[in-house]
Amino acid sequence: MNFVQGGRCYATRGRCLLGSRGSFASNTDRECELHGKFDVWAMQDNTLLISDMGFPSGEPKQCLALGVSQDLAKGIAEEHSRQFRTDVVTTQRRCFQCAKLFWISEHCDSSNLASIERGYLCPLCIRQEVSNFTSTKLGLLRYWCG
């Protein structure tokens, strides 16, 4: 999983930003500014999905990018969206507490385990005490989701 193909950067179609060691750098090392936590998928319903959550729950038709930066993922999705006249959807969430948009990958939890709070509260609000209303909503979700 690296960006160098045929001596050129696959993402920029130019010279590798890492120089000669670029052909040995993988996305998981995040050595290059183009590496990241985001994937771009062409889905069966003809939408494009930008995800920071790994393999999508719906069946994808094609993977367009794996382990790329958010900016690169947006660029790839926008380019394909214009070319094929299709919509772009994301796994971005809206916080129950403050209504700010956030990505699950913004959470610093190293356990990588999904939790109710990480799915519905932004990183800022998860560290703060939540209101009774939000707490009740999360409690109901926990009850129904197990």
Residue 54: which residues within 8 A CB-CB, separation 6 or more?
39
Residue spans per domain, the chain: 4-90, 94-145
pTM, entire model = 0.77
Residue with tokens 């750098």: 25
Q: Is 3 exposed, middle or buried (0-12, 13-18, 19+ CB in 10 A)?
A: buried
Task: Please write the tens of the pLDDT for every residue from 22-54.
Answer: 777 777 777 888 889 999 999 999 999 999 998
* Average pLDDT of the segment spanning 125-133: 69
Task: Please write the tens of the pLDDT for every residue from 60-100.
Answer: 999 998 888 999 999 999 999 999 999 999 999 999 889 99
